[in-house]
Chain A
C-alpha cells in the first residue's frame, strides 16, 4: 500500500436538485502536487469544501494517514493540518496583513495580543518562501496577487501540511502565476502535499504530479501527468474534443459606435488620475481589447465608461450621442451592454431567481411590464428562451435561486442577458474570469458571433491568450494611459508583455498624449 496522507473515499454530497459529488475517491500522496481538474459545476469546489469541513458529505469517509477522521468544520481541518486558499479570498478588508494572518490563532498573553512575535514569524516565513508582503498594510490597499500571498501565509502560519489551492491563478498576471508555480514546487519539495484545483491545462501540465478529473459530479479518473497530454486531459474533463483556438472570419468594419476622447478619471486611492487622457474608437464589427496588467486603470476606465463613476474630463460618444454625463439607464437605452468584472458584486442579485436576473436590464421595457406591473408570463417565457439558447444549467430552471448556481452558469446567465439586449456596444470585462475551458470556449464564440452580427465589442482582459485569440485590435493600458495599439496577428506575446509592463510604448501615442 502506498503512503497516502489524505484519502477521500466514496464521497457523495447532494444539494437540492443536484448531486454535486457522486461517489468520488481522491487519494493524495505525501509531497505531491495533485491537480483536481473539472469544468464549472463538476464538483471540485464542493469536494474541497467537504475536505475543509465546510460541508458534510452524505456518504463516504475521509482518512488521514490511513486513519478515519471526521471533519465537522474548518477548525477540525486546521487541526489536521489542512489549509485552504479559497477562490474568493476570505480576508477582512479593513484589517492589516498581519491581523488577517493571525486571525483565529492570535498569540496572546493575559488577553493581550502579542503581535511582535507574530510579526517575526510572518517575516521569517515570508523570507523563507519568497512571499513578499507588507505586514502593516491593510488588505483593501494591496493588490490581488499580494492578497493571495497573505492567504498562503495564513496556511503556513498555521503550520498546515496539506495545502488546498482553489483556482489560485484565476486572478494573477502571467509573472505572478510563474512565481506561484515556483512557490508550489518549493512546498512539495519540503514534503507538504498540495491539492491544486484548476481548469487551466497548461498550469496543470507544468506543475502537477498527478491529476484527478471530475465531470458532472463524477470521478472520471486519476492520471500521472507524465503519461498524459493536454488533449487527453481536456477530453476527460469535457467529454469531447475541444478546440483551443478561436475560429474567426475576417471582420467587416462598420460605422464608429464608441468614440472616447481625452477621457480622464480620478483615482480613488490617490490624488493622481487613474485614467489619463485616453482616446480611441470602436467600430461596429470589431473586437477591441484593452490589455494590461490588473490595476493599471482598467476598472476605473470601465466604471466611467459604463456610468458607475463620473469622469473628470473628456467625452464619450455612443452612436454619435454624447453620453459623458448620462445616467446608467440612459447609456443602456443608447445601446450599451456591460458584462461586469465582478459578477457577484454587480452582475447579479444573488437572492433573486434566475428569471428575475435575466430581466435585470429589461424589466422596465413595455415587453415586460404594463402600468408598472411585471408581466410574469412574458418574463418566464423570455427566461426560458435565454436558458435554452445559452444553455444555462441550474437545479430548478427559471425559478432557481442564482446563489445556488455554479460560477460558470452564473456568468452564462449574465452573458445571455447582456447579449440579448438590442445593444450596439458590448463592454465585456474579464468575461471568462474563473471559468473552465468549456465555458471559455463558449463565451469566446459568443463574442465573435456578436462581432459577426455587427456589434462593437470592447473587451477588457488580463489573460494574454484571450487577448491574442479573440481580439481584432489590441490597446495596451499602462498606468492609465494607452501606450500601444497593436495587431494581434503581427505582434508576439513577448512584445505585448513589454508594452504591458511599460517597457515599451508607441511613439505616436506618446505624441498624441502629450498633445
Chain B
C-alpha cells in the first residue's frame, strides 16, 4: 500500500511530468528522424534508424566521453536559466576554459598527479572570467546578457585562436593544430578500449549533483530561483540582485570552462598522443549543444546528467549511421525536433491528462448525464 502511495506521489510530481514530457519529445524526434531517413534513402532507412538507436551501445566509452563537455555546458546554460538569464555564451566560456587548460598544460611544468588538476582548475577560471564579464555588465549597466554573451563567444574564439597560433610551444603550424599535451596534464583514462573516456565524467556528474544541492538546499539557490521566478519579489525581500547575477554568471561560466578543460585534457587512444585543438575560427558546437541538453532536462542539474548522456548516445549512433550513407547531421535534426517537442510536450501532457480525465468522468456518469441527446432535441426545436 505504501509503495503504491509512493508511486502515486511520484507520478504526480513535477519531475515525473517533465520526465514523461521529455520521453514523448524524444519519441517524436526519433520518428521524424526516421521519416527523413526514409525520404533520403528508403532502402537503408531501417538499418539506419536501428544504428541510431543501438549504435551508441557499442561505443559506450565514447558516449560518456562526448557526454562530459555537453554535460558541463548544459549545466552552464541551465544554472543561469534558473535565475531567468539566458547564457548563450557557453561556447565562448567553453573555449576560454579549454585555452586556459591548454596553457597550464603546456607552459607549466608540474609533477604528475597534480598537473592535470591544475589544468582543470585553470580551465574553470578561464570559463569563470568569460561568464563574469557579461554578469558584471548585466548587474551594473543592465546590458542584456544574451547580447554580451554572444559577442563574447566571438571575442573568446578569435582571441584563443590568435593566442594559440602565436605560441610556438602550443601550436605546430605545419599541422595547423596544437601539439600533444604532456602526459602529466592528461586526465587519467578509464582504460576503455578505443575510447577517450576518462575520470572527468565522474567529476562532471559530481558537479551536477553539487549544483542540484546548491539550487535546492541553500539560501543562495533559494534566492537564485526566487529571482528567476519573480525579480520584483526578490528585490522586495531584500535580496542582493546584482551580487546574485554576477555570482550566477561566474558559476555558469566556470561550468562551461570545465567542459572545455575536460574535452581537451582527455587522453587519446593512441599512446603518447592527446586531444588537440585546431584554431580554425569556428565557434565551439559544444556550447550550443549545452543549450539543447539544458532545455531537454528542463534546466534540472540531475536531468542534465541524463540528457547529456542521451544526446551523446544518439550522436554516436548518428555517426555510425554514416555506414549506411547517412550524414551524421541527421542527428542534429533529430535533436532539434526533440527540443521543439520537449517544449510542446509539456503542453501536450496536460491536454492528454485532461482528455483522459474527462473520458473517465463521462463514462462514470453516462447513465445520468444525457447531455448529448438533450442538446440534439433542442436544436430541432429551434
B361 touches A328 (CB 8 A): no
Residue of B nearest to A12 (CB): B361
Smallest CB separation, B222 vs chain A (Å): 6
Separation of A340 and B232 alpha carbons in the complex (Å): 11
Residue-by-residue, is A64-93 near B (CB-CB < 8 Å gives 1, otherwise 0)? Answer: 001110000000000000000000000000
Q: Find chain B residues with CB under 8 A from A376 CB.
A: 217
B238 touches A349 (CB 8 A): no
- Among A139-147, A265-273, A274-282, A361-369, which stretch is in contact with chain B? A361-369
- Among B36-44, B146-154, B281-289, B367-375, which stretch is in contact with chain A? B367-375
What is the size, in residues, of chain A's interface with B at 8 Å between Cβ atoms? 36
A390 contacts partner chain B, Cβ-Cβ < 8 Å: no
> 8 Å CB contacts to B: which residues of A304-320?
306-308
Q: Find chain B residues with CB under 8 A from A350 CB.
A: 229-230
Contact partner of B374 (CB less than 8 A), chosen from A68, A306, A348, is A68
B273 contacts partner chain A, Cβ-Cβ < 8 Å: no
Residue of A nearest to B233 (CB): A349
Smallest CB separation, B230 vs chain A (Å): 5
A345 touches B232 (CB 8 A): yes
Contact partner of B233 (CB less than 8 A), chosen from A56, A66, A307, A348, is A348
Residue of A nearest to B377 (CB): A68
A346 touches B222 (CB 8 A): no
Q: Find chain A residues with CB under 8 A from B222 CB.
A: 356, 363, 374
Residue-by-residue, is B210-238 near A (CB-CB < 8 Å gives 1, otherwise 0)? Answer: 00000001111010011001101111111
Contact partner of B229 (CB less than 8 A), chosen from A61, A349, A373, is A349
Separation of A356 and B358 alpha carbons in the complex (Å): 33
B236 touches A328 (CB 8 A): yes
Smallest CB separation, A15 vs chain B (Å): 12
Contact partner of B238 (CB less than 8 A), chosen from A58, A68, A332, A348, is A332
Contact partner of A67 (CB less than 8 A), chosen from B235, B369, B378, is B378
Q: Find chain A residues with CB under 8 A from B217 CB.
A: 373-374, 376
> 8 Å CB contacts to A: which residues of B225-274?
225-226, 229-230, 232-240
B237 touches A360 (CB 8 A): yes
Contact partner of B237 (CB less than 8 A), chosen from A61, A361, A372, is A361
Known contacts A328-B235, A329-B238, A338-B236; decide if A68 and B375 are in contact (CB<8 Å): yes
Contact partner of A59 (CB less than 8 A), chosen from B225, B230, B365, B374, is B365
Smallest CB separation, B358 vs chain A (Å): 8
> 8 Å CB contacts to A: which residues of B354-382?
358, 361, 365, 369, 371, 374-375, 378-379, 382
Contact partner of A372 (CB less than 8 A), chosen from B218, B234, B365, is B218
A352 touches B238 (CB 8 A): no
B220 touches A372 (CB 8 A): yes
Q: Which of A67, A329, A351, A360 has the most CB of B within 10 A?
A: A360
Q: Which of B234, B235, B238, B365 has the most CB of A within 10 A?
A: B238
A431 contacts partner chain B, Cβ-Cβ < 8 Å: no
Q: Find chain A residues with CB under 8 A from B236 CB.
A: 306, 308, 328, 338, 340, 346-347
Q: Find chain B residues with CB under 8 A from A243 CB.
A: none
Q: Find chain B residues with CB under 8 A from A329 CB.
A: 238-240
Q: Find chain A residues with CB under 8 A from B378 CB.
A: 66-68
Binding site for A on B (CB under 8 A): 217-220, 222, 225-226, 229-230, 232-240, 358, 361, 365, 369, 371, 374-375, 378-379, 382
30 contacts between A and B (CB under 8 A): A56-B358, A59-B361, A59-B365, A59-B369, A61-B371, A61-B375, A67-B378, A68-B374, A68-B378, A306-B236, A308-B235, A308-B236, A328-B237, A329-B238, A329-B239, A338-B236, A345-B233, A346-B236, A348-B230, A348-B233, A349-B230, A350-B229, A351-B230, A352-B226, A356-B226, A360-B226, A361-B237, A372-B218, A372-B219, A373-B217
Binding site for B on A (CB under 8 A): 56, 58-59, 61, 66-68, 306-308, 327-332, 338, 340, 345-352, 356, 360-361, 363-364, 369, 372-374, 376
Q: Find chain B residues with CB under 8 A from A330 CB.
A: 238
A374 touches B218 (CB 8 A): yes
Q: Find chain B residues with CB under 8 A from A351 CB.
A: 229-230
Smallest CB separation, A53 vs chain B (Å): 15
Smallest CB separation, A378 vs chain B (Å): 13
Residue of B nearest to A58 (CB): B361
Q: Find chain A residues with CB under 8 A from B240 CB.
A: 327, 329
Separation of A361 and B238 alpha carbons in the complex (Å): 8
B371 touches A352 (CB 8 A): no
A373 touches B218 (CB 8 A): yes
Smallest CB separation, A403 vs chain B (Å): 10
Q: Find chain B residues with CB under 8 A from A345 CB.
A: 230, 232-233
Separation of A61 and B230 alpha carbons in the complex (Å): 38
Q: Find chain A residues with CB under 8 A from B371 CB.
A: 61
Q: Find chain B residues with CB under 8 A from A332 CB.
A: 238
Q: Find chain A residues with CB under 8 A from B379 CB.
A: 67
Given contacts A59-B365, A364-B219, A376-B217, 19 further A-B contacts (CB under 8 A): A56-B358, A58-B358, A61-B375, A66-B378, A67-B382, A329-B238, A331-B238, A332-B238, A338-B236, A346-B235, A349-B230, A349-B233, A350-B229, A351-B229, A361-B238, A372-B220, A373-B218, A373-B219, A374-B218
Q: Find chain B residues with CB under 8 A from A61 CB.
A: 371, 375
Smallest CB separation, B174 vs chain A (Å): 52
Separation of A330 and B239 alpha carbons in the complex (Å): 11
Smallest CB separation, B228 vs chain A (Å): 9
Q: Find chain B residues with CB under 8 A from A306 CB.
A: 236
Separation of A270 and B235 alpha carbons in the complex (Å): 24
Separation of A363 and B220 alpha carbons in the complex (Å): 10
Residue of B nearest to A340 (CB): B236
Smallest CB separation, A14 vs chain B (Å): 9
Separation of A351 and B219 alpha carbons in the complex (Å): 17
Q: Find chain B residues with CB under 8 A from A340 CB.
A: 236
Smallest CB separation, A163 vs chain B (Å): 25
Residue of B nearest to A68 (CB): B375
Separation of A147 and B236 alpha carbons in the complex (Å): 26
Give me the 7 closest cross-chain CB pairs, A-B, nearest first. A329-B238, A328-B238, A68-B375, A346-B236, A351-B229, A360-B237, A349-B230
